[in-house]
């Protein structure tokens, strides 16, 4: 009898699916993703002469996308961007508002829901279950953020693409690698612990 019940229960696609799914729980997870990203945004290290600081936001984007799945992860990041847009001090250094979203770092913010969605889709395909496989979605998610953020930086700050890459990508390569490695270690570990 217990085998039939176990066979009928769908396998969880992402970590959040290990718990019973209700609208209230999904809403809480989406809000939690936005709040985690806002908290990680306050881990901010300015780079002299660079309009883009080093922050923990991308780590939160990767983690929430994988843990919540494509839709909830993207919604969490949309909520994060929206709450900062309406004036809550959610962006790096407690900043907020339209000037941030339309400014030099706005492309990175706009990329967060897209990156979370892609990472979440790959996690739904079970690519977050072992550290080596998990590096693929987390690296891809980081690259999506840069692929949108760097050209946006070039246009908004009136920089050449080469200069935008120097300011908005190159200094972040070591941190991006560390964030991808951390996420690739955390998610498979969480799967093992929660099983």
**Mean predicted lDDT score pLDDT of the chain:** 91
State the fold for domain 11-44+53-190.
Arp2/3 complex 21 kDa subunit ARPC3 (1.10.1760)
Cα–Cα distance, 66 to 158 (Å, whole number): 34
Cα–Cα distance, 178 to 155 (Å, whole number): 28
Cα–Cα distance, 82 to 134 (Å, whole number): 28
Encode pLDDT of 176-186 as tens digits. Answer: 899 888 888 88
The residues near 80 (Cβ < 8 Å, ≥ 6 apart) are: 33, 34, 37, 38, 90, 112
Give the residue among 123, 110, 94 at the shortest CA–CA distance from 156.
Answer: 110
Encode pLDDT of 94-147 as tens digits. Answer: 999 999 999 999 999 999 999 999 999 999 999 988 888 999 999 999 999 999
Cα–Cα distance, 65 to 117 (Å, whole number): 6
CB 97 within 8 A of CB 43: no
The residues near 66 (Cβ < 8 Å, ≥ 6 apart) are: 14, 15, 73, 119, 120, 122, 123, 128, 134, 137, 138, 183, 187
Encode pLDDT of 60-83 as tens digits. Answer: 999 999 999 999 999 999 999 999
Report pLDDT for 194: 77
- For the cut 70, the answer to whether the pLDDT of residue 3 exceeds it is no
**10 Å Cβ neighbour count for 96?**
17
pTM over 0.85: yes
Element (H, E) at 182: helix 173-194
The distance of Cα 83 from the centroid of its chain, to the nearest Å, equals 16
């Amino acid at each position: 009898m217990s085998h039939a019940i176990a066979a009928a229960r769908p396998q969880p696609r992402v970590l959040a699916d290990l718990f019973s799914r209700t609208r209230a729980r999904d809403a809480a997870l989406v809000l939690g993703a936005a709040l985690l990203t806002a908290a990680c945004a306050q881990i901010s290290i300015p780079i002299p002469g660079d309009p883009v600081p080093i922050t923990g936001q991308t780590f939160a984007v990767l983690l929430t996308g994988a843990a919540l799945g494509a839709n909830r992860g993207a919604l969490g990041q949309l909520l994060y961007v929206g709450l900062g847009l309406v004036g809550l001090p959610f962006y790096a250094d407690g900043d907020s508002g339209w000037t941030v979203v339309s400014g030099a770092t706005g492309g990175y913010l706009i990329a967060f829901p897209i990156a979370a969605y892609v990472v979440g889709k790959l996690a739904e395909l079970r690519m977050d279950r072992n550290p080596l496989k998990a590096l693929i979605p987390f690296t891809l998610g980081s690259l999506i953020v840069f692929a949108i953020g760097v050209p946006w930086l070039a246009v908004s700050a009136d920089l050449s693409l080469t200069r935008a890459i120097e300011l908005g990508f190159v200094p972040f390569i070591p941190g991006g690698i560390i964030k991808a490695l951390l996420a690739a270690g955390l998610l498979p570990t969480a799967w093992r612990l929660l099983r």
